[in-house]
Amino acid sequence: MKYTQTYQSLNAVMYQTVAPTPVNHPSLLCWNTALANQLGLRRFSDDEKAAIFSGNQLLDEQQPIALAYSGHQFGGFNPQLGDGRAHLIAEIESEDGASFDVHLKGSGQTKYSRRGDGRCALKPAIREFIMSEAMAGLGIPTTRTLAVVATGETVWRTGAEPGAVVTRIAKSHLRIGTFQYAAQQGDLSVLEALLDYAIARHYPEITAKDTSTKVTAFIRAVMQKQIETLTGWMRVGFIHGVMNTDNATISGETIDFGPCAMMGAYHPETVYSSIDTEGRYCFSNQAPITQWNLARLAESLLPLYGDAQEQGLKELEPLIVQFKADFEYAFYHMMLRKLGIETEDIEQYEKLVDDLLALMQVEKRDYTQTFVFLGALLGGSDDVALSEQSDAFQTWVQAWRDVLSQVEEKQSVSPVTVMAQVNPLVIPRNHHVERILSACEQGDLSELHAFVAVLSRPYEMQDATINYQDSPVDGDKDYQTFCGT
């Protein structure tokens, strides 16, 4: 592992050099040993972990900075966002040449704080740990959590809460909002340099020098990455909750686990975020919103076409339109794998997926459990009784079996195996997450680690898995999440 310091090669308007504000009594709550090893970080003593990952001590003399960005928040543009309570404390390159940001959240004010206190409460910090590690376990591109350190200080939200600092590891913190910020600086060289930086960091296969080829290849590449992540979300019932353009990464990694939640009973309009009153970011809107966000990325790059704006529009518009077809293909491909069917020939089986989803909606079926049930059914498990299901469901199962009998022989991997690879046995269900967070707030972290261990291997039946598979008694009907991190 070696340190690199690449962000400072960008124009100085893109960041502020600023140290974290020290905290009173840092104490280490969570440390992700597997991730630390994977990154090749050096060994730290527990005191060092608490001091460094609270922001009280620099990480090996690295220079912290806060990053500037803009963002469309619920559709409205805010030109001046940025790391208002976060610091990029180091950039590292691991043994295999991959580069990562080490980023503290809750580490004090910066010039982007606006009226915020620069701090983070303990519950949302641990929530980020649980959710990001669950996403990693599920195999979905995501930022990770290396550490959570309690600050020993009080933060004021709806009331007094204990404070914490969370350390996030990301392939980078470049967001669509970073491009929107650069585009407003009135200096094309700032924007061009950012584009070149993003390409070098994430899409080095793009080697074109002329603007048109470079920009279109970049948009296409980001779009493919975001579609991959989005279909991962849809595969496991993840609802991000706040898909503002500042929370949409150029790497495609899932970022910002503020009001996110997992869907229990299937309904496309499921939304849990307290502030998403219009359902802008509900489960099924996540695809059109991704497209909308990519259109904002394209818009921010348009100035690079200089005098040839019309040509730029003509090139970029069809790319954004293409999103719909590309996403739908990826979506059905993924859903069919959830049913054990591996095929490129999506169209003739789309109805099978649509029918199941419609049935799940009407019957208020649990999203995760339904696919686990189907897998067990196919595997011939004695515990699974099809006869207890509704007539409509039994009819659908027959149609599914008919399809399987047609495709099975052509598949290199058996349907049962395909299903076991993509249908998790366990997800971070909201009622367990909240229960464990409340215990953590009272100082009891004993169950947290057992929970995260189960979530890190969600496709395997471990001893403790069964403790976390139940759907909520009340169907999460009053469940709400908040932007609190």
Residues of the shown chain interacting with Mg ion in the complex, contacts defined by CB under 5 A = 247, 256
Contacting range for ligand AMP; rule: CB under 6 A; set: 33-41, 110-118, 331-339, 436-444: 110-118
Name which of 234 and 248 has its Cβ closer to ligand AMP. 248
Q: Which of 49, 72, 85, 87 binds ligand AMP (CB under 6 A)?
A: 85
304: tokens are 């690079």
Contact between 458 and ligand AMP (CB under 6 A)? no
- Near ligand AMP by CB under 6 A: residue from 258, 264, 312, 375: 258
Q: What letter would DSSP give residue 175?
A: B
Rounded CA separation 382/376 (Å):
9
256 binds ligand AMP (CB under 6 A): yes
- Comparing CB distances to ligand AMP, the nearer of 126 and 199 is 126
Residues 233 and 290 sit within 8 Å (Cβ to Cβ) = no
Q: Which residue is nearest to ligand AMP (CB)?
A: 116
Least distance (Å) from ligand AMP to the CB of residue 292? 17
- What's the min distance (Å) between Cβ of 236 and ligand AMP? 22
Q: What's the number of CA atoms in the CB half-sphere (13 Å) around residue 203?
A: 24
User: For this structure, is 246 an active site residue?
Assistant: yes
For residues 91 and 6, is the Cβ–Cβ distance under 8 A?
Answer: yes
CB nearer to ligand AMP: give 116 or 318: 116
Please pick, among 246, 256, 366, 476, the residue that the annotation labels catalytic: 246
CB 101 within 8 A of CB 201: no
Quick one: how many helices (H) and strands (E) in the chain? 14, 13
**Residue number, 162 or 258, with CB nearest to Mg ion:** 258
CA gap 19, 391 in Å, rounded: 63
Does residue 175 interact with ligand AMP by CB under 6 A? no
Q: Does 247 bind ligand AMP (CB under 6 A)?
A: yes
Question: Considering the rule CB under 6 A, would residue 81 count as an interface residue with ligand AMP?
Answer: yes
**Binding residues with ligand AMP: total (CB under 6 A):** 17
What 3-state class would DSSP assign to 31?
strand
CA distance 304 to 300: 9
Contact of residue 79 among ligand AMP, Mg ion, none (CB under 5-8 Å per partner type): none
Residue 23's closest CA among 145, 108, 87? 108
Looking at residue 346, its amino acid is: I
Residue 133 interacting partner from Mg ion, ligand AMP, none (CB closer than 5 to 8 Å by kind): none
Q: Which is nearer to Mg ion, 81 or 199 (CB)?
A: 81
Q: How far is the CB of 164 from ligand AMP (least distance, A)?
A: 12
113 binds ligand AMP (CB under 6 A): yes
Q: Does the footprint of ligand AMP cover residue 108 (CB under 6 A)?
A: no
483 is a contact residue toward ligand AMP (CB under 6 A): yes
Alpha carbon dihedral 349, 352, 355, 357, in 10-degree steps, equals: -90
The three-class DSSP label of residue 410 is helix
Residue 245 near ligand AMP by CB under 6 A: no
Please report whether residue 84 would count as binding ligand AMP according to CB under 6 A: yes
Q: Can residue 237 be called a binding residue for ligand AMP (CB under 6 A)? A: no
Alpha-carbon distance values, 277 to 132, 179, 235, 480 (Å):
25, 28, 24, 11
Q: Give per-residue burial for 407-431: e unless 16+ CB within 10 Å, then b.
A: beeeeeeebbebbbebbbbbbbbbb
Residues annotated catalytic, as ranges = 246
Residues that bind ligand AMP (CB under 6 A): 81-85, 112-113, 116-119, 246-247, 256, 258, 483, 485
